[in-house]
Structure 1
Amino acid sequence: MSEIKQGVIIGFLGKTQDRFSEYQAPVTTEQKLEFVSKIDGFTGVEMVFPYENEGPAETKALMDKYGLEFAAINVNIKKETEWVPGALSRPDKGIRDRAVAMIKKAKDFAKAVGAPHVTCCPLSDGYDVLFQINYKTAWNHMVETFAEAADYLPEIPLFLEPKYSETRVHCQIDSTAKGVLLLKDIQCKNTGITIDMGHSLQSQENPAQALSLIYENGFDAYIHTNDNDTKADWDLIGASRHFLHYIELMFWAQEYGYNKYFTTDASPRIFDVLEFFNRHSEITTGAYKLAQKLNRQQILEMMRIEDYNGLMQMVNKEIYRI
C-alpha cells in the first residue's frame, strides 16, 4: 500500500499580505525550509522562482541540510511591473518573450537542483472589463508562448495551473477544461495540469472529475491541496469545507496511480503556522488512507450497474461513518 507524499508552497510559511492586512513575520528561505522539516509528514517543497532561490548549489545544500525533496519549481510571471497586466498573452512581443525567458530560466534551475517539473499559474493573463482584450490574439499568444516554453528542456515538464479569477477578474485559463484545450492546441506531451482543489471549486468544478478529464485526455497532473467556500480562493485547510470532495479526489488520484506530491497551497493568515499545517497534514493523510480502505472494485461495479442507493449507503457508512 503506497504512502502519501506531502509538501508545501513555502511562500506561505513567511509574511503574506492582502489588500487589508499583513500576516505572520518575514523569514528567510532557509528558515522556511527548516520549518517544513518540522511539519508532521511533510518532505516536499514547492519553491517560487526566482524570488526564493539562491544559486542551484546553495539551494541544493539547504534542501539536503533539512532532508527535503522538491515537489516542483513554481515560476512567477506576474510580479514584475511590466507583467502586472499580463505576461504570456499581451500584444507586445517583447513582454511575451521576457515571460517565456523567465519560464525557461525556471526550467534550467529545476534541472540544476533536481526538481521534477516546473508549474506556472499565469494569473495576470486575462481581463477585468469587457472590450478590454482581443480574445483571438490573446488565446493564440498563450498557445505560442506556452508551447515555446514547454518545448524547451523537454525532460523538465511544464505544468499549467488554471484559476477562475485573481489577479484578473477573468483569468485567461479559468478552468481545467480550458487548460486541457490549451495543451491540446500546444501539442506538446511534456506538459500537464496543476489542479488546485480550491481553484477547481471556485470554477464550479468537481475536482475529482477535473482530474479524470486531465488523465483521459492524455496529460499528466499535479495536485495542490486546500479548500474554500467556492466564492473566493481562501486557501483554507483541506477538507475544512468540502470533505466528501476531498475523499473523492483521493479515490480517483489513487485510481489513476498518482505518485507525485500532494502539495499544500494553503495560507495560515491568523492561525498558528505550525499547527495550521499539522492539521492540514493530518486531514490529508487521513483522507488518503480512508480512500485506500474503500472497496474499489465494489464501488466501480456499483457505478457500472448504476446502483445509486448502494453508492450513497457506501458514502454514509464507509466515509461519513454514520
Structure 2
Amino acid sequence: MKQGVIIAFMGKTQDRFCEYNSPKTTLEKLQMVQRVKGFDGVEMVFPHETTTPAGINQMMSDLGLHWAAINVNVKKDPQFVPGSLSRPVKQIREDAVAMIKSAKDFAKAVGAPLVTCCPLSDGYDMLFQIDYQTAWKYMIETIGEAADYLPEIPLFLEPKYSEVRVHCQLDSTSKALLLLKEVGNPNTGITLDLGHSIQSQENPAQMLVTTIESGFDAYIHTNDNDTKADWDLVGGSRHFLNYVELLFWAKECGYNKYFTTDASPRIFNIIDFFERHAEVSLGIWNLVNKLDPKKYRRLMAEENYNELMSLVTREIYRVQ
C-alpha cells in the first residue's frame, strides 16, 4: 500500500474562525512528510507550493519522496474566488484553463503521474444566482480544453457537495462522471475523496466501481467525517466499514496509485495525527488482504446476505 499526503496540511491551515499551526516552506513541509512513518508520497498544490521543477525534484530526491499527484488550485486567486471554470466572464475561464495547463506542464517536468482539480468555487450560494445552462456548458468546454492539453498527463476531477460554495457545481461523483462523459476524453478520471463521497450520501466503494465500470480512472483520497461537514478526520474514525469496503474494492479493481491522505490535523500534533492515519490505513489494507474475495463475491452473487454479514462480523469486526 502506497500512502502519501497533500502537503498543504503540513503547514498553516484555517477555517472561518481559527488558524492552526505555523506557516512552513515547501521544503519544511516535505521534511515533515519524511518524518511520518508510512508516508512517502506527495501531492503538491500548484502553483502555490511549487518553484522550479529542478528545485522541487532535488528536494524530493534528497528526502526519498515520490509523486502522487499535482493538485491545481483554481479557487484561491482573487479572480477565482467567486468561481473559475464555469464563470460567464470568458477571460476568467481562460485564465483557469491556462492554470490547469501550466499544472500539467509542471507535472510532466517533475514526473508526476497526474493532475487533480477540485473546482470548489464553481457553484452557487443562493437560488437564482447563476444560469445553470451556461454554467454547465462552460464546465464542459473548459474541462474539455484542459483535458485535451498534454493528454499523457491525465486530468482528474474531485467532486464535493459543498464548500466553498453552498452547492458545488460538481456535487457528486455521478455528476462529475456525467461531465466526463460529455467531455469524452479517455485521459481523465475521478479523484474519489472518501469524505466527500460520504458527505454526498454516497457509498465510496460503489462510486469507485461505478467510476471504473464507466470507463474512467480513479485516484483515491482518504479521510473521514460525520457526513454533516468535511472535517477531514483520521480515516476509519467514523466510518470504519466504509473504509474497509473501499479498500476491498480498490484491491479488486487493481488500484495501484497512492492512497493520498486529505486530512487536517487542526488541534492535533501534525506528525502524530498523520501516523495514526497511516497505521489505521495500512492495518485495514492488511486486513483486506486476508479476506477471501472469491468467497465474498460468490456470496454476493448468491444474495446470501446472512452469511455475508456473519463474515463481516467474524473477519472484519472480529467480535465473535
TM exceeding 0.5: yes
Look up the SS of the partner of 1:227 in the other structure.
coil
Q: What is the match of residue 143 of structure 1?
A: 140
Structure 2 residue identity aligned to 1:185: E
1:180 aligns with 2:177: yes
Candidates 75, 78, 83, aligned match of 1:81: 78
Cα drift, residue 177 of structure 1: 0.3
Q: What is the match of residue 230 of structure 2?
A: 233
Look up the SS of the partner of 1:192 in the other structure.
strand
Q: What is the match of residue 60 of structure 2?
A: 63
Structure 1 residue identity aligned to 2:140: V
Q: What is the match of residue 53 of structure 1?
A: 50
1:41 aligns with 2:24: no
1:93 aligns with 2:106: no
Deviations 1:18-46 (A, max 9, x none): 11111011111101111111111111000
CA RMSD between the two structures = 0.4
Deviations 1:111-142 (A, max 9, x none): 00000000000000000000011101100100
Look up the SS of the partner of 1:292 in the other structure.
helix
Candidates 6, 10, 15, aligned match of 1:9: 6
1:321 aligns with 2:312: no
Candidates 96, 114, 118, aligned match of 2:111: 114
Q: What is the match of residue 252 of structure 1?
A: 249
Give distance in 1, aligned partners of 2:238 and 2:193: 15
Q: How many residues align?
A: 319
Look up the SS of the partner of 1:124 in the other structure.
coil
Question: Pairwise mapping of residues 123-138 of structure 1 onto structure 2 (< 5 A)?
Answer: 123-138=120-135
Q: What is the match of residue 217 of structure 2?
A: 220
The gaps in structure 1 that reach 5 residues or longer are none
Look up the SS of the partner of 2:9 in the other structure.
helix
- TM-score, length of structure 2 as denominator length: 0.99
Question: Pairwise mapping of residues 13-28 of structure 1 onto structure 2 (< 5 A)?
Answer: 13-28=10-25
Deviations 1:53-89 (A, max 9, x none): 1110100000001000110000000011111010000
Structure 2 residue identity aligned to 1:80: D
Give distance in 1, aligned partners of 2:91 and 2:50: 25
Candidates 150, 155, 175, aligned match of 1:153: 150
Give distance in 1, aligned partners of 2:161 and 2:133: 19
Look up the SS of the partner of 1:42 in the other structure.
coil
Give distance in 2, aligned partners of 1:71 and 1:310: 38
Look up the SS of the partner of 2:226 in the other structure.
coil
Look up the SS of the partner of 1:37 in the other structure.
helix
Candidates 295, 298, 303, aligned match of 1:298: 295
Candidates 190, 193, 209, aligned match of 2:190: 193
1:282 aligns with 2:274: no
Deviations 1:88-114 (A, max 9, x none): 000111100000000000000000000
- TM-score, length of structure 1 as denominator length: 0.99
Q: What is the match of residue 273 of structure 1?
A: 270
Structure 1 residue identity aligned to 2:190: I
The gaps in structure 2 that reach 5 residues or longer are none
